[in-house]
């Protein structure tokens, strides 16, 4: 049986697509190992073995910070070299972020076929560092920025793999809100929540008309320390709302929503597209690669979302967008259809095909 080593940092944005690929490969008789960092030590990943590899992210440009990062990556590469020598994988697949640098670097030094999956619409710094060394590059979007000609020659579009629960939710058709009926609004800010959503969304809802507020049913993810404040705000407004720090069934809740307000990480955009729901997307600001800005731009260009940069994400602006969409159900339906048309449900299978073509089997 072939063995594939998957490498992913310990966040949902990297682990979820890696998990989807693991499921697709296991169905084909492939054994899976995972290389990750300590953040994913307790994540229930479908792998035979989990290898914890030291790593570090570049957080400063001063000589001391760069030296510390380089030393951490060097230690991780040595440990990955040893692990790969023992495991002897037929291919190594990385899902971006600096935790994938040591195992992919070590694999390339050992001559093991390597595949890099870039989930975002712009190639990240860690992936740009690895691009010249890997055998093949899979992309989550059809257009990828910040990739040089050599990297582009290695690229295959696969789309972003989504979880089985997302595929299940994708079969639920979109039904625009009926005139005078309930409008279901879903708000979330990534796997760890986003404080800006807790600050802006309730204030925007307060600016809506009494009649529109009475129609709303809001499901909102918030940081644990913000939940009481958010709940109290909605209670004062008389708005039906459910607020929690985490929703394990988020894809099903996405399918039930008429409109979604969220960040625009690669996994979020992939799930919005797969399920086919209209969104108001607020990219994470100040990111060096501006990956979420690019991701949201892809969905906006397709007609499936409205992108609002955070400096413009004010209560009045959000209230105006929500009121306008609520008054125009055909536009919501058209946005849902446009989002779905840009989704790639079979991305995990496409990526599995590429991995097995590249693997030394």
pLDDT tens figures, 249-264 = 999 999 999 999 999 9
pLDDT at 191: 56
Give yes or no for residue 190 having a pLDDT over 60.
yes
Can you say how many angstroms the Cα of residue 356 is from the centroid of all Cα atoms in its chain? 24
Give yes or no for residue 79 having a pLDDT over 70.
yes
pLDDT at 69: 77
Q: Give 43's pLDDT tier (boundaries 50, 70, 90).
A: confident
pLDDT at 67: 81
pLDDT at 22: 97
| pLDDT single digits (tens) 124-156 | 888 998 999 999 999 999 888 888 888 999 999
* Residues 184, 181: Cα–Cα separation, whole Å: 10
Instruction: Output the average pLDDT for the chain.
Output: 93
Do 167-341 and 3-162+345-358 have the same topology in CATH?
Answer: yes
Give yes or no for residue 37 having a pLDDT over 70.
yes
* Residues 295, 342: Cα–Cα separation, whole Å: 12
- CATH 3.50.50.60: does it fit domain 167-341? no
pLDDT at 44: 86
> Which ranges constitute the DSSP H helices of 155-289?
164-169, 195-206, 210-215, 227-237, 250-256, 266-275
Mean pLDDT of 316-344: 97
Mean pLDDT of 277-306: 93
Mean pLDDT of 299-321: 97
CATH topology assigned to domain 3-162+345-358: Rossmann fold (3.40.50)
Domain range list for the chain: 3-162+345-358, 167-341
Mean pLDDT of 176-183: 96
Residues 6+ apart with CB under 8 A from 276: 170, 174, 304, 336, 337, 339, 340, 341, 343
């Amino acid at each position: 049986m072939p063995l594939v080593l998957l490498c992913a940092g310990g966040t949902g944005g990297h682990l979820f697509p890696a998990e989807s690929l693991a499921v697709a490969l296991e169905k084909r008789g492939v054994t899976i190992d995972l290389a990750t960092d300590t953040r994913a030590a307790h994540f229930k990943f479908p792998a035979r073995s989990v290898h914890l590899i030291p790593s570090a992210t570049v957080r400063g440009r001063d000589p001391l910070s760069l030296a510390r990062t380089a030393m951490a990556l060097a230690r991780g590469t040595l440990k990955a070299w040893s692990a790969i020598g023992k495991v002897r994988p037929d291919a190594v697949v990385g899902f971006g972020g600096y935790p994938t640098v040591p195992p992919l670097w070590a694999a390339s030094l050992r001559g093991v076929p390597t595949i890099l999956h870039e989930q975002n619409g712009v190639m990240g710094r860690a992936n740009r560092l690895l691009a010249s060394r890997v055998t093949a590059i899979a992309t989550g979007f059809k257009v990828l920025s910040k990739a040089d000609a050599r990297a582009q020659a290695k690229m295959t579009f696969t789309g972003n793999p989504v979880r089985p629960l997302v595929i299940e939710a994708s079969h639920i058709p979109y039904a625009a809100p009926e005139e005078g009926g309930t409008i279901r609004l879903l708000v979330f800010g990534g796997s760890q929540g986003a404080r800006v959503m807790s600050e802006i969304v309730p204030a925007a809802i307060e600016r809506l008309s009494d009649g529109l507020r009475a129609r709303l049913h809001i499901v909102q993810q918030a940081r644990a320390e913000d939940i009481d404040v958010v709940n109290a705000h909605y209670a004062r407004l008389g708005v039906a709302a459910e607020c929690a720090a985490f929703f394990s069934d988020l894809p099903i809740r996405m399918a039930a929503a008429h409109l979604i307000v969220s960040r625009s990480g690669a996994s979020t955009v992939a799930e919005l597209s797969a399920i086919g729901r209209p969104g108001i997307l607020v990219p994470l600001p100040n990111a060096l690669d501006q990956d979420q800005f690019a991701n949201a731009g892809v969905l906006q260009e397709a007609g499936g979302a409205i992108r609002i940069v955070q400096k413009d994400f004010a209560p009045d602006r959000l209230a105006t967008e929500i009121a306008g969409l609520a008054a125009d159900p055909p536009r919501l339906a058209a946005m849902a259809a446009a989002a779905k048309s840009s989704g790639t449900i079979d991305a995990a299978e496409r990526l599995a095909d590429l991995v097995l073509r590249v693997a030394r089997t």
